[in-house]
Amino acid sequence: MIDLHTHSVFSDGTTTPEENVRLAQRSGLSGLALTDHDTLQGWPRADRAAQRAGIDFVPGVELSCELDGRGVHLLGYWVDADDAALSAECDRLRQERDRRAGEIIDLLARHGVHVDPAAVRARAAGAPLGRPHVAAVLVDMGVVADVDAAFDEWLGDGRPAFAQKRALSPVDGVRLLRGAGGVAVIAHPGVSEVVTADLVAQLAAAGLAGVEGDHAAHDDDQVRYWRAVAAELGLAVTGSSDFHGERKDARIGQRTTPRAVVDRLRAHCLQVRAV
Ligand code: AMP
Ligand code: ZN
Ligand code: FE
Ligand code: FE
The pLDDT tens digits for 20-67 are: 999 999 999 999 999 999 999 999 999 999 999 999 999 999 999 999
Q: Is the CB of 10 under 6 A from ligand 1?
A: no
Ligand nearest to the CA of 129: 1
Ligand nearest to the CA of 12: 2
Say how many Å lie between the CA of residue 273 and the centre of ligand 1: 32
Q: Is the CB of 130 under 6 A from ligand 1?
A: yes
Q: Is the CB of 245 under 6 A from ligand 1?
A: no
How much is the mean pLDDT over the chain? Answer: 96
Beta bridge partners of 3: 32
In testing the pocket of ligand 1, which one of 67, 144, 151, 191 has its CB within 8 Å of the most ligand atoms? 151
Q: Which atom of ligand 1 is nearest to the CA of 165?
A: 4
Ligand nearest to the CA of 6: 4
Distances (CA, A) of 69 to 64, 101, 172: 12, 16, 15
Contact 33, 256 (CB under 8 A): no
What is the arrangement of strands in the sheet containing 183-186, beginning at the earlier edge strand?
Answer: 2-3, 31-34, 56-67, 70-77, 183-186, 210-215, 236-240
Residue 136 has pLDDT above 70, yes or no: yes
pTM attached to this predicted model:
0.96
